[in-house]
Structure 1
Amino acid sequence: MHPSMHALSSPQKPAIIIAETGQAMDYWTLDAQSNRSAHALRALGMQRGDVVATLFDNAVEVFVLGLAAQRAGLYLTSISNKLSAADVAYIARDCGAKLLVASDAYLPLAEQALLDTSDLRLFAWQKESIVARSWSDLASPYPTSPISDQAPGTDMLYSSGTTGRPKGVKFPLPEGGIDHPTPLMTMGTSLYGMGADTIYLSTSPLYHAAPLRWAMTVHRLGGTVVVMRHFDAEQTLKHIEQFRVTHATFVPTHFVRLLKLPDDTRARYDHSSLRAVVHAAAPCPVPIKQAMIDWWGPILHEYYSGTEQCGITALTSSEWLAKPGSVGKAVLGTVKITDDDGNELPVGSEGNVFFANGPAFQYHNDPEKTAKAYDRNGWATLGDIGRIDEDGYLFLTDRKSFMIISGGVNIYPQEIENCLVAHPKVADAAVIGVPDEEMGERVLAIVQPAAGVQAGIPLGNELCDYIRSALGGVKTPRAFEFRDELPREPTGKLMKRKLVEEFRTKVAAAA
């Protein structure tokens, strides 16, 4: 199935609705505008296997250009609009994009990012500037019929690591027609009952892998995607009732915020249209998930995967109630638990979580990182530690890295630490994630001030502003602690595990 088929069978059916404004785009218009954009891409010299980068808001252009890239055989690199200009520039260059298209609101950020990148063409969705053309004006004269050489494309999205810069996750281009099936289509239909009658609420930024992929999957199935520009707990309930939402995806932080609404607010809205609520991206605390099931019924579904999509596990509410804390059984690939030498461990043993027989991927421009993601058996890992029980259910017990997941967003501390130690008032720094009831984890910076520098709130505020300017708000620590000295081994290696255990104990004691 493909959106172009639904444009023929149900041309006036809404494909996209912007929840806050009611702006809608039907399937005929989505198909027509994506065809025009595909023609424009070809006119600009874009050929199968090339990369187009985007810097979009949660808006219709995500789907118009996304579908155009998909039917033109391109890689789509969707860049977070929360990044700093330096990060946007890095990803735009690293992915090898020939052009960057930005929502009008993010044109200033795109222009700043591309100041020193003269070989990459810049477009705004509608506006024009001295350095950017209007994509809508460029595409509008082209035909609404398909390009003659349609071929399936895919995404190449950037996944946060534990050290260094993020890397693009690259898959082989799909073969066959543009309607080639995907793993999410199979999951959506077989596990969640998605189809042409689906009204799907997209609650998260569409530059992330899961929200983008699920929304485009719903379009393949012929459903309607209701897009929230920004998550708001009460507005989510309002939209569920208003649009008679049948399916939705969330991260655990969303559940926390929904549950914190006053009882009378939660009772005010009708959620009876919901058939399946899917969550992923971060571990969901058992009490939070239990409370959501108590409220919405046994319609919660969970899955575990990553941008790499080398494997997927999934489970229903009834399975979770029998196996609380589990992330399910494999629905893509086969779960393997190994020791550090690659030897498979018996049932119940804790070890490295790998997937066998899953889709192949590589980290773009990083063969060393790609090699580390695979073991000697050819199995791939997302870097987590866990165990499988006697019934084949996976339980995640720890992260092999110290990656922080805050509100469903992956944050790697090394970059923040590198930024901090470059500040003249900082002698040493460590960044860790500590438990947070709402966000899952929050970013904490532990700083050793330089000699003669006074620790305290003014210094914390200065460092906060410094990091926000350099790295963007998402990576800015929410709290600062100051120490005379950080624990390091004689070799100089930071003993971060000690800090993690100390601060998690403090948070638990204060709860």
Structure 2
Amino acid sequence: MITATRTFGEVLAAHAAARPDAPAVTCGVDTRTWAEVDRDSNRLARMWIRLGVTPGSYVSIMLDNSPAFMTAAFAAWKLGAVPQPLSSRLTSTELHAILEVVDPAGVVGLPEGEGPDAFNRVRLPSVPESAESADPLPRRISPAWKAPASGGSTGRPKVVVAGNAALLDEVIGFADVLGIPAGGTVAVPGPLHHNAPFMFAVLAMLRGSHVVLQGRFDARTLLADIASHRVQWLYAVPTMMQRIWRLGPEVLAAHDLSSLDLVVHMAAPCPPWLKRAWIDWLGGERILEVYAGTEAQAATVITGGDWLEHPGSVGRAVVGEVTVLGPDGAALRPGEVGEVWVRRGANAPAAYAYLGGEARARAGGWESLGDLGSLDEQGYLYLTDRDTDVILVGGSNVYPAEVEAALAEHPGIGDACVIGLPHEDLGAVPHAIVQSSAELEFDSVLTFLRERLSPYKLPRSLEIVDHPLRDDAGKVRRSALRAQRLERADDAVHDQ
């Protein structure tokens, strides 16, 4: 029996004892059983001890989606350390900045060619040695069960350290809210270095569910995985949903999705037409939308059926509290648009802590993620706009300040502003407006940026202006610049 006070490592060991040969994690053709994940994480942990990993320290994990990623996370928890997921595609500049904030005891998957001297970090192995003991380790409790990284609205990275320890009873409530099955099969096609995919994969494994990953998202492959593995629960972002839907009715009908009980989507606004299409296809009871930040101060959920009665809503709070306030801090009436503020509870312990950042907070424990919206009389939340600084590219956050800082390093660019413009597939993409008197070629600017930014952060278009982008106070009005570009696009369409 798995008791609520068990550590994550103890929960894994219990599943391994109960079903040693059952699949625990699959990615493509690579499947690891519960016994293998338990054994390999014990061996990895012992190897890491000799390399300096201690209870309470951070372990940065820079692996692609794979069973090895989850094995490394459990090795960290068994040592009482905190796993800190990172993208394997970070540039050297991005990685240096994050590691300075986190100061991990070691990095799993440190890029080849970037030895310990380059980052002054310990390289931790991801493959355990068979000669290492696979016996259980002494009980250790990680003070925080995850610490995902974020670009940060200031252009500098920050890390969100969970306020919950790596104990089953501190996190299992999230699995209940999300409807993650026990002893079932869960598909998580998103990258594990993002908060939501990592969180869902972990919660599913804690519940004894087989987690099916994708090395890189592919709509057809995902449908085949759902059918062949009899997946019951799926996490997706709207970009994934749209690519699946575009396969067409014949392709969709060719795959047996009868096992699928619930599709959970979040991370970006879902276009109403797409939401209705999925509800019509699978049924409202099989669609669940979640609105929450990595900080997890609060979360709202809404089923497909409720959404049809409250179209456009992201639901009511099921974790923490949500309110909408005006510029003066006063609560707004139902239907009035203001800034969305959240909190775990008036006297609740902190849901997270920042490394390298500070919360936008006000009295009473309220914090803002920068979203605008309104509440109706029944407490359903409607978002009218996301943070004007953050560009959601296929569910991934791109912070303009970070891209602008990289552009400003270019010798031919005096100043830069980056805004998000609509994109049919990805939802939004970065558009760069630069002040320059030089003759800039877009391709040469991209070549310059590729040394500093991950591919998804790169601007998809470039606009050159000869006038200042900032006002006398040194501020750039991204929302106004974006509105102007959208108005031009509308005028161009109407003129055709």
Query: Normalization by structure 2: what TM-score?
Result: 0.91
Could you tell me whether the CA contact under 8 Å between 1:95 and 1:168 is conserved in 2?
yes
- Out of 372, 376, 383, the position equivalent to 1:385 is 372
Does the residue aligned with 1:155 lie in a helix, a strand or coil? coil
Give the distance between the partners of 2:408 and 2:334, measured in 1 at CA: 44
Could you tell me whether the CA contact under 8 Å between 2:324 and 2:374 is conserved in 1?
yes
Give the distance between the partners of 1:507 and 1:297, measured in 2 at CA: 36
1:156 counterpart residue number: 147
Change in CA separation of 1:113 and 1:284 when aligned onto 2, cut-off 3 Å:
farther
Give the distance between the partners of 1:449 and 1:280, measured in 2 at CA: 38
Gap runs ≥5 in structure 2: 3-10
Code of the residue aligned with 1:107 in structure 2: it is P
1:504 counterpart residue number: 486
- Out of 19, 44, 55, the position equivalent to 1:48 is 55
Change in CA separation of 1:113 and 1:418 when aligned onto 2, cut-off 3 Å:
farther
- Out of 301, 308, 321, the position equivalent to 1:334 is 321
- Out of 256, 260, 279, the position equivalent to 2:265 is 279
C-alpha distance after superposition, 1:451-508 (max 9, x if no partner): xx335xxx01111111112212121111112333355423343232221102223445
Structure-to-structure mapping, 1:24-103, within 5 angstroms: 24-102=31-109
Change in CA separation of 1:498 and 1:379 when aligned onto 2, cut-off 3 Å:
closer
Change in CA separation of 1:173 and 1:255 when aligned onto 2, cut-off 3 Å:
closer
Does the residue aligned with 1:504 lie in a helix, a strand or coil? helix
1:440 counterpart residue number: 427
Does the residue aligned with 2:452 lie in a helix, a strand or coil? helix
Give the distance between the partners of 1:382 and 1:249, measured in 2 at CA: 22
C-alpha distance after superposition, 1:102-134 (max 9, x if no partner): 0xxx632xx43854333x2113434xxxxxxxx
- Out of 426, 429, 448, the position equivalent to 2:416 is 429
Change in CA separation of 1:220 and 1:492 when aligned onto 2, cut-off 3 Å:
closer
- Out of 451, 461, 465, the position equivalent to 1:469 is 451
1:394 aligns with 2:395: no
Give the distance between the partners of 1:403 and 1:191, measured in 2 at CA: 25
2:351 counterpart residue number: 360
- Out of 160, 178, 181, the position equivalent to 2:169 is 181
- Out of 196, 202, 213, the position equivalent to 1:210 is 196
Change in CA separation of 1:280 and 1:339 when aligned onto 2, cut-off 3 Å:
same
What's the Cα RMSD here?
A: 2.1
Gap runs ≥5 in structure 1: 127-135
Give the distance between the partners of 2:428 and 2:419, measured in 1 at CA: 9
Code of the residue aligned with 2:131 in structure 1: it is P
Could you tell me whether the CA contact under 8 Å between 1:386 and 1:397 is conserved in 2?
yes
1:454 aligns with 2:413: no
C-alpha distance after superposition, 1:123-146 (max 9, x if no partner): 3434xxxxxxxxx23xx4333222
Change in CA separation of 1:66 and 1:380 when aligned onto 2, cut-off 3 Å:
same
Could you tell me whether the CA contact under 8 Å between 2:288 and 2:304 is conserved in 1?
yes
1:345 counterpart residue number: 332
Give the distance between the partners of 2:223 and 2:269, measured in 1 at CA: 23
Question: 249-258 vs 261-270, which deviates more?
Answer: 261-270
Give the distance between the partners of 1:71 and 1:492, measured in 2 at CA: 49
- Out of 226, 230, 244, the position equivalent to 1:258 is 244
Q: What's the offset of the Cα at 1:427?
A: 3.0
2:20 counterpart residue number: 11
Give the distance between the partners of 1:224 and 1:254, measured in 2 at CA: 21
Does the residue aligned with 1:471 lie in a helix, a strand or coil? coil
Q: What's the offset of the Cα at 1:263?
A: 3.3
Q: What's the offset of the Cα at 1:211?
A: 0.4
Query: Normalization by structure 1: what TM-score?
Result: 0.88
1:116 aligns with 2:118: yes
1:304 counterpart residue number: 291
Count of matched residue pairs: 478
Code of the residue aligned with 1:354 in structure 2: it is W
Change in CA separation of 1:82 and 1:507 when aligned onto 2, cut-off 3 Å:
farther
Structure-to-structure mapping, 1:132-143, within 5 angstroms: 136-137=128-129, 140-143=130-133
Give the distance between the partners of 1:432 and 1:318, measured in 2 at CA: 34
